[in-house]
Structure 1
Amino acid sequence: MPDDQITPTEPKPIIRLKESVINKIAAGEIIHRPSSALKELIENCLDAGSTSIRVTIKDGGMKLLQIQDNGCGIKNSDLPILAERFTTSKLSSYSDLSHLTTYGFRGEALASISHVARLSVTTKTAAAEHAWKACYEDGKLVPAKAGQTADPKPCAGNDGTIITVEDLFHNTPTRLSALRSSTEEYARILDVMTKYAVHNYKVAFVCKKSGSSTPDLSSSPASSVSQAVNLLYGTSIGKSLLQVTCGPDPNAVHTSKDTQSWKGEVVFTNASYQSKKFIFLLFINHRLVESARMKRAMEAMYTSILPKGFSPFVYLSLEIDPQSVDVNVHPTKREVHFLNEDAIVERVCNVAQDRLHNKSQSRSYPTQTLLTQNQRVQMDVDEPGDSRDNELGPSRVHAVQITAPTPSTSKKKVAPKNLIRTSAADRTLHSMFPVLPSNRTQPQSEPQPQTQDRRQAETEENAGRGDEEPPAPVRREGSRKSKEIPESAIELSSIRDLRKGVLIKEHQGLHEVLEGHVFVGIVDLDRCLSLVQHSTQLYLLNHGSLAEELFYQLGLRQFSSFAKFKLEPAPPLRKLITIAVDAEDGISRTKLTKDQVIEFIHRTLMDPDRREMLSEYFCLTITDDGLVQTLPLILRGYTPNLDKLPLLLMRLGPQVDWMDEERCFESILRELAYFYVPGPLDGSPASLEDTEESKAEKWQIEHIIFPAMRKYLVPPKSLLERDVVQVASLPDLYRVFERC
């Protein structure tokens, strides 16, 4: 019809649907087929604490679906509203959903069934003298027979509940005609019951057709999920099962303080089991649900194990904090949403895959061997009544063990999003050409004399000479080896306790990140921010804080065995302290004058006993006439910023507890570590990116400090609070691009 002939029509009025229409539409969302009705009823039985559930089916559940349990039953006073919508004993307010632990909660299962079928309930509680029977249609009580009242009637019965559903979808012919054959619908019912019987292995399940004396499914209480799988799915699966339990990775670097707690149990077949159909049972907080993402991840585990076209059996049960799960996203509760879904899926698959690959290195295959004449072997398998030997000798079946390729020759198939494209063992050409500062005083090193309690220290060359061979980055085992920094042999209990304290505070996940990291680049030199990659994650680090902890631990490692470098000419101690005090703003807030503060610090450090201790244990030599002659060389090839030397000496006076041995050693090592941290003096102007000084600083950070972190740093958990932040993840980026 031409556009000019189209006449506008009046909008139709909006009307309120009848209650019966609303209820039938809602029932169609909950009850799709007999098996979905049975699923709701089974969950009600389990919520009632049943230990035995019996189901009787006729015509695939369309003519009759009856379920009997021995649970707590239903009170007579609750029967009038039992089949009304949104009547439930599971919650009273919306906030109760955040800590829900039951199967049902909306109160729509029986209501929906009553709108599409004829429903009757026979129930008895333990305290009741007899059972009660009630019939329902469209959510309301109806008489069981014409002429009777609709009130529940007393009757004989056992403790528990019998729910009978007859003529399912009798008033919705379209839904009835869309169903499959009764045989296929019955198979769906058996599938649902089998899955619930596996998960609830302590409950006895029986399912049979009406009029049949032999049940098609019968399970007695089992001791474990594996035993239930063996009973219900057969010994071909049962004898191939592996089982693992998992939870949050304790070694993972969590940048969020509220890390979700969860646990999972996985029962799955090894490489010996092969089937054309993938059987996947997924329970989240004991609910039978579906997850396409989880199913794909589980299938991907077996891509490098099973031949193409074959599938495994997998049972997975996850228990997650109810506050992290949204159960109200699907009318039939077939799907749920929960926090950190991607991380949980990845963790479960990694744990299961590790177990699977460890167990898949050998497989058993039945083969038949034909022996030559005059050769005899003991039979492994012998058919009853068959002992015939031909002239060539007996033909017997043997179990032959075939060893699969070792992990070194058979690699796991890695998804592109999990592929690591960098190696910490690589060395760049840039690292072979050190960039040295143009205006920084270079220390002159000298050999450390051997004493009774220390090892012979390494003689260090001038750290600033241009003809020095550049220090090779420290690599993990198997890469180029650098000179080891030996741990000094010291008998002082205070040092032993400090070393133990470092190991106690270690965070294993952060240790793995630093040990296997690949340096990406410096983000901000003045704010001490750098990027590193580990596996498929990108991390932003405060390299100043990490370097301070590194130098403290290296100082503790080499206690009393430092190499030392010589300051030429040796600066006077009093002059250095004066420079630091003049630059310190906090001096004006004390009761002492600057001259008094300088005198106090100078007198403290010039004490003969303290000077001897500083020289013997820390290679910080102060001569009798007050000249600072040597400093400890904590890390070979690294030149500290000597502009910080006045600050170091000033802080050694008041910041060190000279009266307690352990606290004294720790505070001195902390001050030395702060002195060694890369970067300009606090309060100095921001560095310029194109200066020789900043280029040399960057080179030392990348090629000396970070390789030393990889090899020697034992990172404490405290660094995760603000100094290590995950900023990107390759799998997460893949998911973003997949949505585009």
Structure 2
Amino acid sequence: MSDVQTAPSDALTEPKPIIRLKESVVNKIAAGEIIHRPSSALKELIENSLDAGSTSIRVTIKDGGMKLLQIQDNGCGIKCSDLPILAERFTTSKLSSFSDLSHLTTYGFRGEALASISHVAHLSVITKTAAAEHAWKVHYEDGKLVPAKAGQTAEPKPCAGNDGTIITVEDLFYNTPTRLSALRSSTEEYARILDVMTKYAVHNHKVALVCKKAGSSAPDLSSSPSSSTSQAINLLYGTSIGKALLQVTCGPDPNTTHTSKDAESWKAEVVFTNASYQAKKFVFLLFINHRLVESTRIRRAMETIYTSILPKGFFPFMYLSLEINPESVDVNVHPTKREVHFLNEDAIVERVCNVSQERLLHKSQSRSYPTQTLLTQGQRSPMDVDQPGGSQDKEPGPSRVHTVQITSASTSKKKVAPKNLIRTSAADRTLDSMFPVIPSNRTQPQPQPQTEARAQVTTEENSDRGGEGPPAPLRREGSRKTKEIQESTIALTSIKDLRKRIIVKEHQGLHEVLEGHVFVGIVDLDRCLSLVQHSTQLYLLNHGSLAEELFYQLGLRQFSNFAKFKLEPAPPLRKLISIAVDAEDGISRTKLTKEQVTEFIYRTLIDSDRREMLSEYFCLTITDEGLVQTLPLILRGYIPNLDKLPLLLMRLGPQVDWTDEERCFESILRELAYFYVPGPLDGTPTTPEETEESKAEKWQIEHVLFPAMRKYLVPPKSLLERDVVQVASLPDLYRVFERC
């Protein structure tokens, strides 16, 4: 054993030599610190345009900014002599020495934005100053001038152009595939771009900003110069926020003795919503010395103002602009200038919070509450005198809803113009009341559609998963209080990503319509068309498409925590698949027989691992004998059409990607959502007479489905393309009548 020699340990090996990185490697590393995604590149370019004194900025986007990101402004432009070093690192017109940072008033100062972009994209610039006779066009790569085409020179080329600058960024991250693959979809990246532009449009409300997709004629964001921040917020974030805004300006407390000169020189403008506005997420815009920044400490401090005012889980909208002596601010703490530090932060934030809270509490003493006055036969409410036609309305009728302003001074009610009257209750007058109907019982039977297997529906309490129990009978009064649908706690990254994707795709304007709508009536049950009113607008909705998105989101919300309903007797899986395959026309165009397709799908679903996953995560239980025992109960009080069950099981075989976790979960939830959509099977003939089943389905749509949409649906913008259409506007109709 003494002759055996051991190898030297890793600790004794020679250290690797230190080498100087190549300049190209250094520049790409630096570019990764500045340009994270298309929206960060756009933020740098917008700040450059604002520093150039632009009053109009137009942005064009293609594929979320990854294929094309172009920004055009009417600023001062760039001199031709400065173009050769425009895209080199640490070239800037904002400062000349380090001491200039102490009184910096511009957005940019590092001189790294265009340099970083040129290292990860194809960059071209067209610019013209007011004194120049024509514009100049140049191309950059890795910070250097390059020719536009092979055989040409790299020097600036004269071209036509207006005063200002056009910067075009193409093929972003073409040479860094890892960064490119880490980006979200083009839709999500475009949403981030719109978010950045909206925030800058609010703060720079005297600048016109436009953003649109390449090839689109209509912009997705267009802000015209406005006189105040509140007007800009109302235009960009919607009237529901705009009509609830409060505004305060403040500075140092005059009753406090300041020990430093810096603490005296600051000013804050705060625009925030009152207690009447409530949202599911906190929208906070923070600008310090006109720079869009983030600060978790300031955000939390401002959020505590509403702790005793808003219910738990609801948040306000808030805009805060701080102007502080530049000598008190350190802007050189983050590569993208996303964070800044300043002196006396605690004292300044405390002062802003106190002033804002005083204003909020004072305004909260006057709030609007909806009250209902029940009119019995031979009685009229005194408030009817103020309603149009109130003196002639002597017939007894349904309850009318009025809005009473509770104030400390008086309870007087202003007369509302007819063109501004807003439906506040579905009981005012529904679409069904305009047509003669046969009186029906107050209690409607639950719909119990059956498959060929004659399966009866029995709801089960899923005690192991926190289920909500069986639904009560459907009642027209709609007075039964439904239990809150809680979001399940899941550690799976795939489910967390799917939930985040829903929030990113939300369309705020459509969310306001659905959240504050009043149901008018069902237009066409077979075509899934319904009418709702929001404010003074009337909308035609495809409630089938909205329901499909709702059930997908509810399924994702309750993932692995479903209640369930039991099929008695349990129908055989093979028989159900066979029914759907026989009815499928496309099978005849394949080389497989219907029996072979049925067997393939059956073997796919009867697999023990897949059955265990379906049962554990989705409460879709298939026994060892091949019997479908239970299905998930996604929404209490709503029973799907079980005639669609064979189609659901058939589609679960080929339509689900069983090899990828996230795509597997998403496709199963989409198929369950499609199964839950109201309406008959495609191509199923319907009778013109109204049956008990159609009455029950209409009741479910009005009293279960639409209230659930109002409470839980986070609508994506894609629903606006063809599923939500504004068909009338009360003020516009009155203008037409006035011309007649």
Interval containing the TM-score (normalised by the shorter chain): 0.5 to 0.7
Which residue pairs with 2:142 in the alignment?
138
Say if 1:160 and 1:257 are closer, same or farther in 2 by CA, change over 3 A. closer
Q: Report matched runs for 1:524-535 at 5 Å.
A: none
Say if 1:379 and 1:173 are closer, same or farther in 2 by CA, change over 3 A. farther
Q: What's the CA shift for 1:400?
A: 2.5
**Once the two structures are superposed, what CA deviation does each residue of 1:455-477 show, in whole Å capped at 9, x if it has no partner?**
xxxxxxxxxxxxxxxxxxxxxxx
Which one of the candidate residues 6, 14, 25 is aligned to 1:10? 14
Q: 1:231 & 1:33 partners in 2: Cα distance?
A: 27
Which residue pairs with 1:288 in the alignment?
292
Q: 2:127 & 2:342 partners in 1: Cα distance?
A: 36
- The answer to whether the aligner puts 1:115 opposite 2:119 as a matched pair is yes
Which residue pairs with 1:499 in the alignment?
none
**Once the two structures are superposed, what CA deviation does each residue of 1:70-107 show, in whole Å capped at 9, x if it has no partner?**
00001111111100000001100000101111111111
**Once the two structures are superposed, what CA deviation does each residue of 1:266-313 show, in whole Å capped at 9, x if it has no partner?**
011110111011110000000000010010001100001101110001
Q: What's the CA shift for 1:3?
A: 11
Q: What's the CA shift for 1:261?
A: 1.3
Which residue pairs with 1:348 in the alignment?
352
| AA aligned opposite 2:312 | K
Q: 2:385 & 2:48 partners in 1: Cα distance?
A: 50
SS in 2 for 1:112: helix
Which residue pairs with 1:374 in the alignment?
378
Bigger mean CA deviation after superposition, 303-312 or 255-264: 255-264
Which one of the candidate residues 230, 234, 240 is aligned to 1:230? 234
Which one of the candidate residues 308, 311, 315 is aligned to 1:307? 311
| AA aligned opposite 2:296 | A
Q: 2:298 & 2:341 partners in 1: Cα distance?
A: 12
Q: Give ranges in structure 2 of 5+ residues lacking alignment.
A: 409-740
| AA aligned opposite 2:132 | A
Which one of the candidate residues 178, 182, 187 is aligned to 1:183? 187
1:289 and 1:335 in contact (8 A); partners too: yes
Q: What's the CA shift for 1:402?
A: 4.6
| AA aligned opposite 1:220 | S
Q: 1:330 & 1:14 partners in 2: Cα distance?
A: 27
**Once the two structures are superposed, what CA deviation does each residue of 1:501-521 show, in whole Å capped at 9, x if it has no partner?**
xxxxxxxxxxxxxxxxxxxxx
SS in 2 for 1:248: coil
SS in 1 for 2:300: helix
2:290 and 2:321 in contact (8 A); partners too: yes
| AA aligned opposite 2:220 | D
SS in 1 for 2:58: strand
Which residue pairs with 2:624 in the alignment?
none
Which one of the candidate residues 325, 329, 332 is aligned to 2:333? 329
| AA aligned opposite 1:72 | C
Which residue pairs with 2:324 in the alignment?
320
Which residue pairs with 1:441 in the alignment?
none
Which residue pairs with 1:393 in the alignment?
397
SS in 1 for 2:33: helix
Q: 1:262 & 1:300 partners in 2: Cα distance?
A: 22
Q: Report matched runs for 1:168-247 at 5 Å.
A: 168-247=172-251
Q: Report matched runs for 1:218-617 at 5 Å.
A: 218-256=222-260, 259-377=263-381, 392-402=396-406
Q: 2:314 & 2:256 partners in 1: Cα distance?
A: 34
SS in 2 for 1:264: strand
SS in 2 for 1:146: coil
2:385 and 2:391 in contact (8 A); partners too: no
Say if 1:83 and 1:251 are closer, same or farther in 2 by CA, change over 3 A. same
Say if 1:159 and 1:368 are closer, same or farther in 2 by CA, change over 3 A. farther
- The answer to whether the aligner puts 1:129 opposite 2:139 as a matched pair is no
Which one of the candidate residues 101, 105, 109 is aligned to 2:109? 105
Q: What's the CA shift for 1:363?
A: 1.4
Q: 2:325 & 2:171 partners in 1: Cα distance?
A: 40
Q: What's the CA shift for 1:397?
A: 2.9
- Between structure 1 and structure 2, the one with the greater Rg is 1
Which residue pairs with 2:92 in the alignment?
88
| AA aligned opposite 2:301 | A
Q: Give ranges in structure 1 of 5+ residues lacking alignment.
A: 405-740
**Once the two structures are superposed, what CA deviation does each residue of 1:649-681 show, in whole Å capped at 9, x if it has no partner?**
xxxxxxxxxxxxxxxxxxxxxxxxxxxxxxxxx
Say if 1:396 and 1:381 are closer, same or farther in 2 by CA, change over 3 A. farther
2:262 and 2:325 in contact (8 A); partners too: no
**Once the two structures are superposed, what CA deviation does each residue of 1:474-516 show, in whole Å capped at 9, x if it has no partner?**
xxxxxxxxxxxxxxxxxxxxxxxxxxxxxxxxxxxxxxxxxxx
Which one of the candidate residues 163, 176, 189 is aligned to 1:159? 163
Which residue pairs with 2:642 in the alignment?
none
Say if 1:322 and 1:207 are closer, same or farther in 2 by CA, change over 3 A. same
Say if 1:107 and 1:3 are closer, same or farther in 2 by CA, change over 3 A. farther
SS in 2 for 1:351: helix
Which residue pairs with 2:28 in the alignment?
24
2:27 and 2:119 in contact (8 A); partners too: yes
Say if 1:379 and 1:111 are closer, same or farther in 2 by CA, change over 3 A. farther
TM-score, normalisation: structure 1: 0.52
Q: 2:241 & 2:277 partners in 1: Cα distance?
A: 7
Say if 1:359 and 1:119 are closer, same or farther in 2 by CA, change over 3 A. same
Q: 2:216 & 2:260 partners in 1: Cα distance?
A: 58
SS in 1 for 2:106: coil
1:380 and 1:398 in contact (8 A); partners too: no
**Once the two structures are superposed, what CA deviation does each residue of 1:113-160 show, in whole Å capped at 9, x if it has no partner?**
000111000011111111111011100111111221111111111110
| AA aligned opposite 1:6 | S
Q: 1:279 & 1:255 partners in 2: Cα distance?
A: 35
Q: What's the CA shift for 1:382?
A: 8.7
Which residue pairs with 2:44 in the alignment?
40
Q: What's the CA shift for 1:396?
A: 2.9
**Once the two structures are superposed, what CA deviation does each residue of 1:26-81 show, in whole Å capped at 9, x if it has no partner?**
00000011111000000000000000000001111111100000000011111111
2:72 and 2:164 in contact (8 A); partners too: yes
Say if 1:347 and 1:6 are closer, same or farther in 2 by CA, change over 3 A. same
Q: 2:243 & 2:77 partners in 1: Cα distance?
A: 39
Say if 1:207 and 1:380 are closer, same or farther in 2 by CA, change over 3 A. farther
SS in 2 for 1:345: helix
Over the aligned positions, Cα root-mean-square deviation in angstroms equals 2.5
Q: What's the CA shift for 1:369?
A: 3.9
Q: What's the CA shift for 1:383?
A: 12
Q: What's the CA shift for 1:9?
A: 1.8
SS in 1 for 2:43: helix
SS in 2 for 1:206: strand
| AA aligned opposite 2:9 | I
| AA aligned opposite 1:364 | S
For these two proteins, the number of residue pairs brought into alignment is 402
Say if 1:146 and 1:255 are closer, same or farther in 2 by CA, change over 3 A. closer
SS in 1 for 2:279: coil
SS in 1 for 2:236: helix
Amino-acid identity (%): 85
| AA aligned opposite 1:128 | A
Q: What's the CA shift for 1:371?
A: 2.0
Q: 1:351 & 1:403 partners in 2: Cα distance?
A: 22
